[in-house]
Amino acid sequence: MYPEPTNLWERIEYSSLGTTIAESTWMFPLLEVFHVIALVTVIGTIAIVDLRLIGVASKGHRVSLLAKDLLPWTWGAFALAALTGGLLFVSKASSYMINPWFLGKMALLALAGLNMMYLHMTTWRTVEHWEVDPSFPTAAKVAGWLSLIFWVGVVFCGRAIGFTLGIYY
């Protein structure tokens, strides 16, 4: 039997869903597999566009068409990653919320999202004018580099979570 929850994170963790996932032999590992596959897809599709933005790959392709072709894959995989990540979180919410690697991963995800939002609200609005030039605007290149850095950080922090979960109290 679990102790009486004393905060929101314990209430989530000791919920029937949280305990089912945590106590199951197969649920947590299966969720983790789908989470990793989804993250690889998200990061891979984003990296293709980012590498085009910084000018090191896919130079023969218009960045707007690359983004248009990859966007459904990116968002579908992101939805799966968010769902599986949320379910993994539910199983150990109080441990995750005190783990600096988890908090770092969440911060880097937010920064990646803000970077993408800023790019699309500013520089991307005129993409049809600059994507045919040999050199992209500095703002597009900076956004590409920042995106790559943030997503590599997400992966690094995500791996660190697995090795440090339960050591922070």
> 6 in helix, strand or coil?
coil
Nearest one of 162, 54, 48 to 105, comparing CA atoms: 162
Q: What is the mean pLDDT of residues 1-21?
A: 83
The answer on pLDDT for 3 being more than 80 is no
Residue 114 is predicted with a pLDDT of 97
The C-alpha atoms of residue 1 and residue 163 are separated, in whole angstroms, by 26
pLDDT in tens, 14-68: 999 999 999 999 999 999 999 999 999 999 999 999 999 998 887 778 888 899 9
Please tell me the distance from the alpha carbon of residue 98 to that of residue 82, in angstroms, as a whole number: 20
- In b/e form, how buried is each residue of 108-132, taking b as 16+ CB within 10 angstroms? bbebbeebbeebeeebbeebeeebe
